[in-house]
Amino acid sequence: MKVFLIGFMGCGKSTKAKQLAHRLDCPVIDLDAEIVSKTGKTIAEYFAEFGESGFRNYESEMLKTHPYPENCVVATGGGLPCFFDNMEWMNANGETVYLQMEPAQLVSRLHNRHKRPLIADLDDEQLLEFIKTKLQERDPFYTQAKVVVNAFDLDAETLESQLVH
């Protein structure tokens, strides 16, 4: 079984992917890390060189062409489900889990903003408004996930049990 973790930046996709993969005894794949590995550029550098549309194209291609093992947990980028047919593709090719969080919770978790091109120059108040706006835009995509869980204080055991049900 392939499990795709989706959700807004800062909701814990990379961390939960590692924890869940450990529980399921399978590999973890972080698509952002794969992009960095393949391109030799950070996500911020890729954004700067090719713009958001160039990044989204490459990200979608990576999602659909990566040689996934039969069983794995995949951490996706926060915007990935919202472009092209990425959400439909993930639903057709595995289990999708939306790690949902409230905007204020996300603000409290997004400390290293300089590494995140979309929010690098925002203060807390601006970030809160940005998150609220983006979540409104992204919610129709995120909520297409087969499983929606509250990711605040979520442990891997609970996450695994949500997949089983």
Q: Was 14 annotated as part of a binding site?
A: yes
Q: Was 53 annotated as part of a binding site?
A: no
Number of H helices, E strands in the chain: 7, 5
Q: Was 139 annotated as part of a binding site?
A: no
Q: Was 109 annotated as part of a binding site?
A: no
What are the residues whose beta carbons fall under 8 Å from the beta carbon of 157, sequence distance 6 or more?
23
Q: Was 23 annotated as part of a binding site?
A: no
Q: Was 138 annotated as part of a binding site?
A: yes
Q: Was 13 annotated as part of a binding site?
A: yes
The phi-psi region of residue 149 (left if phi > 0; otherwise alpha if psi is between -120 and 50; otherwise beta) is beta
Q: Was 116 annotated as part of a binding site?
A: yes
How many CB atoms lie under 10 A from the CB of residue 122? 17
Residues placed in the known binding site for substrate = 32, 56, 78, 138
Residues placed in the known binding site for Mg(2+) = 14
Residues placed in the known binding site = 10-15, 32, 56, 78, 116, 138
Residues placed in the known binding site for ATP = 10-15, 116
